[in-house]
Structure 1
Amino acid sequence: MKIHTKICGITRPEDAIIATQLGADAIGLVFFAGSKRCVNIAQAQEIVCVLPPFVSVVALFVNETAERIHDILTQVPIDILQFHGDESPEFCRQFHRPYLKAIRVQQPADIQAALTHFTDARAVLFDAFVNGTYGGTGHTFDWTMLPENLQGHWILSGGLHADNVADAIRTTGACAVDVSSGVELTAGIKSPEKMAAFMHAISHF
């Protein structure tokens, strides 16, 4: 079983190149000003330019205005939108792009509610809940809250790194994972060694 992987919070072209050489299926660009991994349009354009064919570009937003999202989409070739705030399904689908909806899991009910509510999402992304923070926290959540044979398309995120991702996949049955802080030297600066170790850890599935 191939485990699909997104490396999020890319801020430098050189990190994007290494991520894709190591086999990442997608890279994530953060357009949330409250994140240490936020990129501007010029940075995003430089990163996208170095990507090989068939690597997806995911743009992450948190409670952003529709106007700014449309503006970014006219300037940066984005494949998938990721919404990490309190966006409604109606808001997410208005851009006529595939989208991911991130859910910060606090209790088991959050999991099924998200899959029921966001039925047209490409996938729901389950992340750890940290008050006042939207992603990239380095925290995990209780993976056993995910029911066995969970139906629908979903992605596991939150505090993943080379030393725990294999256990996370075995515990949850995830077929897609999202990593950011777990492969970094500092916020937004990826470590080639940590990325390589992460990709190696999931290569045995």
Structure 2
Amino acid sequence: MFQRKICGITSVQDAQAMIAAGADALGLNFYPQSKRFLSAEIAPDVRQAIPSEVAAVGLFVNADVVDVAAVAKKLSLDWVQLHGDEPPEYLARLRQLGAPPILKAFRCGPDWKVEIAQFLSRCGDLGCRPAAILIDGFQASAYGGTGKTADWNALVDWPQWLNCECLVLAGGLTPDNVSAAIAQVRPTAVDTASGVESEPGRKDLQLAASYCANVKIAMGE
């Protein structure tokens, strides 16, 4: 399992820079409405720039399940991140189609803990539990990448109520606050996009290096 994921890679240059900065997972965003959308024309070159020791994570939002499986296979993705409103049956179908491990994202919106519990219960019934859960900040008009922080206080006891072994904490994480977030939540991994950017879709090497260094220290490496 990775620890330091940086999402929203839009170029080969940014992929190489984020790897040099210390990221051990890179997110490739295939949601067309995102400012960090990675086109099908550029995606193969970006994927080729990611070495085997760094996880390549494809992010999708309410995409056609067959298309997701096809992209995952074509690009040899290590993870599929579902960041939309995909139901448990969607995960079951992805598994049938031979997709890689699934990272299911949830936002800290109204009744989010109940939503997660019901979702995972249904996944258990279908035999399609996600390999990891990602918790993001909430903004009603967006599916992520907003810079809004998640509810750290509500996640302090996540091992007791989140019926999943791996928690990825996202939402507004920066070099300045990631150490405090890890100290409070103790997640399995952390994920950022806007927190290490000079502008949406453009990564900043110095910010990313500082971020990854702080994560390593906070995680006890």
Q: Is the TM-score greater than 0.5? A: yes
1:109 equivalenced with 2:113 (yes/no): yes
* Distance in 1 (alpha carbons) for counterparts of 2:49 and 2:2: 23
Q: How does 1:1-205 map to 2 (within 5 A)?
A: 4-95=3-94, 96=98, 97-106=100-109, 107=111, 109-110=113-114, 113=117, 115-118=120-123, 120-148=129-157, 150-151=159-160, 152-204=165-217, 205=220
Further displaced range: 144-153 or 161-170: 144-153
Alignment partner of 2:42: what SS? helix
* Distance in 2 (alpha carbons) for counterparts of 1:49 and 1:134: 27
* Distance in 2 (alpha carbons) for counterparts of 1:133 and 1:52: 31
* Distance in 2 (alpha carbons) for counterparts of 1:83 and 1:150: 22
Q: Post-superposition shift, 1:109?
A: 2.4
* Letter matched to residue 159 of structure 2: L
Structure 1 alignment gaps of length 5 or more: none
Q: Post-superposition shift, 1:115?
A: 4.8
Further displaced range: 146-155 or 83-92: 146-155
Tell me which protein shows more helix as a share of its residues. Answer: 2
Give the conservation status (yes or no) of the 8 Å contact 2:2–2:24: no
Closer, same or farther in 2 for the Cα pair 1:50/1:3, shift >3 Å? Answer: closer
Give the conservation status (yes or no) of the 8 Å contact 1:105–1:111: no
TM-score normalised per structure 1: 0.91
For the aligned residues, what is the CA RMSD? 2.0
Q: Post-superposition shift, 1:122?
A: 1.0
* Distance in 2 (alpha carbons) for counterparts of 1:111 and 1:198: 31
Give the number of aligned pairs.
Answer: 204
Structure 2 alignment gaps of length 5 or more: none
Q: Post-superposition shift, 1:108?
A: 6.2
Give the conservation status (yes or no) of the 8 Å contact 1:124–1:153: yes
1:44-95: CA deviation from partner (whole Å, max 9, x where unpaired) = 1111111222211111111111232233234322111000111112212323
Alignment partner of 1:7: what SS? strand
* Distance in 1 (alpha carbons) for counterparts of 2:86 and 2:115: 16
* Letter matched to residue 178 of structure 1: D
* Letter matched to residue 54 of structure 1: E
* Distance in 2 (alpha carbons) for counterparts of 1:6 and 1:68: 24
Give the conservation status (yes or no) of the 8 Å contact 2:58–2:72: no
* Distance in 2 (alpha carbons) for counterparts of 1:8 and 1:160: 12
Closer, same or farther in 2 for the Cα pair 1:149/1:133, shift >3 Å? Answer: closer
